[in-house]
Structures are given as structure tokens and as C-alpha cells.
Amino acid sequence: MAFASLTDLGWRPFFQQQLSVEEAESMRVARVIEVQRGRIRIDDGSDERDVVLGGRWFQGDAETRPTVGDWVVLDAGNASVARVLDRESVFRRLVAGDRSDVQLIAANVDILFVVTSANEEFNVSRLERYLTLALDVGVQPVVVVTKVDLIATPDAFLEAAKSVRSGLPVELVNALDAATLAPVRAWCSRGQTVALLGSSGVGKSTLVNTLLGSAAQATAAIRESDSSGRHTTSHRSLHRLPDGGLLLDVPGMRELKIGDVQAGVEQVFDDIAALAARCRFSDCTHGNEPDCAVQAALESGELSERRLASFRKLEREQRWASETIAERHQRGRAFSKRVRQHQKLSHKKRD
């Protein structure tokens, strides 16, 4: 379905101000609504179509390539992407394994639905990880707990989710019942882009289908052994809701390796930061040092061992990511310098 206007797609002054006079007068802009390998699907407000990305997009850093949610400027013939506009927000993660390569998840998101389910999949430490990602880029997180119709005590999941951070919005839903989704729809206003992130099988595709009122995404039955669903979404895609919002669905993630998200870690664990500020020593490791406020909070029950362990784990990952990403950028700069030197030498030889 084509969108009625660029405003419906999320176009706003932040993007308009980036256009040159020539681009504003003679070139078209479009939003990336789907990404699959070497091509993207775009919507320019009147038409949806596929665009193949040329080889130049794969010669540089992956972060420079269009991702779902991006705004792009098309060339004069509207056949290819001339450039990607600066992003208001962008979600990144490190690829699985020991590499430091960055993978873009989605761009220009206004609200993040962290989707989990009221069964064995529910994990507070995992919620903290997703919230770190959202808060680091300034996106409003909302926890959506699905499958509450299958349990007798949904309030226990509500309280557990709210314990992650003061004031965190939490919605309990049955993704198959549209009547329970009114609080969720309230977050999806006209022109707002809402991304859904969560583990495989938590009911994201079912939630998308019910909100859209159509079977846009394939779904699969849950496994009886662990109450988990099978991963069904195979690529990232952007969908327009009947009331005007935009839903950005992302394949379920078995592993979310965070990048350099120091600001997010500090916000999610602001209670631990406040405690650490009361320690006697500014470089306290919160181990065996005297007058450690963090250890005192553990002993009194004010702070749980689980939350401190989660903070330490994310802090270690963030520090490692920061160092390795900086090293990767340094290697890239060194390589570019060698290329320029080689080109300069070649020109001299020709002269």
C-alpha cells in the first residue's frame, strides 16, 4: 500500500532541512521500508518499489548503507539512491561472535516496543539490555508483555518489568485479541515510527498482524517444551497502521551484543550510579573496599545481586565494544591513508 503523504511516512523538518536547493526542487526523497541483501524497498509517498544498491554501497562501512527506516534521496532518474539523509536515531548492535563489526537494526525510530512474553522467555536482565539500547539513542522504550491470556497471574510480570526502571511504561496484552491492544495503539500516532524488538517466538509477528488487521507477517505455533514460538520474521520491514502510525518489525534476536552505549547503561542503572557516588573511594570497585555503598545496599536488600551482575556484564561489554570499535575505526583510517599515499605515488610516476 502506498502512503498518502511523506508526513504519514514520518517526514519532518529535521530531514527537510538537510536537502539542498537542487534536491528540494528536482529530486525525490523516499523512505526505506524493507531491506533484503543487495536491495531495498522504498516508498516515496505515491509508490512503492524495489531499488538495487550499487556496488559502491558495499565498499565502505556498513553504517553508511541504507537501513530500514532511513530517508534516502534518489538520483535524477529516480532509479537509484544518491545519498542517505542523516538519522535522528539509529539502533546498532555488534555482530555475533568475536568480531567488532557493527550491524544496523533500524533508523529514525520514535518509540521502541520491547516485546517479551509471560512465560519462560521473560527475563529481566534481557529487558535491561534492550532498554540500554533504546535510552542510549534517546528513544522512548515501552515493554509489551504478550501471552498474558495463558497465565493466571499476569500482575507478577507487570511488577517484574516495572522494576527495571522507574516510570517505565509496561503494557500487558493478548496479541491475538485486538480489544486488549488499545493501550498499545495509543503509542502509534500518525507519523510516529514504532520498532518492535525481542527474542524469537515472543509473539511479535502476531502483534504486528493484529495491529495491522491483516496477516502481514507469518507466524508459527509455540513449542510445548519451553512455551517459545519459532522465529518467523525473516527480514526487517516497515508497515503503516490503519490509524497512521508506522510499525517496524525486526527478526527475533537470539543474541543482542551491544555496542558503545555508555549513556544507555548509565540511565538504565542510574540507581547503582547513585549508590556508587556515596562510596568512600571514587575508584571503588564495589568489592571489598571499606564504606562501599553498593555492598551496603546488597547487604540491606536495597540492591539485588542479579541487578548488580547485569550492570557489571553490560558495563564490561560496553567498554570492550568502545575499545574495539575505536580500534576498527583507527584501522580504517590507516587503510585510507595508505590508499591516498599509493594514489599520490601513482600520480607522480605518471607525471
Q: What is the model's pLDDT at position 230?
A: 43
Helix (DSSP H) and strand (DSSP E) numbers for the chain:
10, 13
For the chain, domains (ranges, CATH) are: 13-86 (2.30.30.140), 91-249 (3.40.50.300), 262-339 (1.10.40.50)
| DSSP label at residue 39 | E
Q: What is the model's pLDDT at position 200?
A: 82
Q: What is the model's pLDDT at position 334?
A: 52
Q: What is the model's pLDDT at position 243?
A: 81
Q: What is the model's pLDDT at position 94?
A: 72
Q: What is the model's pLDDT at position 71?
A: 97
Mean pLDDT per 10-residue interval, the chain, length 351 residues: 76 95 90 90 90 87 90 89 95 67 88 94 92 92 95 93 93 93 93 91 90 64 42 68 88 63 89 94 91 95 95 87 61 54 56 55
SS3 294: helix
Name the pTM for this structure: 0.80
Q: What are phi and psi of 269, to 5 degrees?
A: -110, 40
Question: Which residue type is seen at 222?
Answer: I
